[in-house]
Amino acid sequence: MDGTQSLDPNVAAIQRKLGERSKAGYSKYGVDTTRKDLGEVEWLRHLQEELMDAVVYIEALLSSVSLAIEADIRKRNSEPY
């Protein structure tokens, strides 16, 4: 192992995804995170926006999962023993 690969398959999957995301971002925007045109406040705003998007995704999934769990509970409660 050369130090860049992990024995943990989950870490390895994340490493692959980060590499893919980096290539896609550079292809789309033509810059990477070493760019010098953004200051710390702009980077923090970008992070805040990404995290707010993540919270929206979490809320949507929680709602969906909660509805599915509630439906399953109702189904189980209505089944005869």
pLDDT value, residue 75: 87
As a three-state string, the secondary structure of the chain is: CCCCCCCCHHHHHHHHHHHHHHHHHHHHHCCCCCCCCCCHHHHHHHHHHHHHHHHHHHHHHHHHHHHHHHHHHHHHHHCCC
Q: What is the pLDDT of residues 52-77, one digit of tens each?
A: 999 999 999 999 999 889 888 888 88
Single pTM value for the model: 0.66
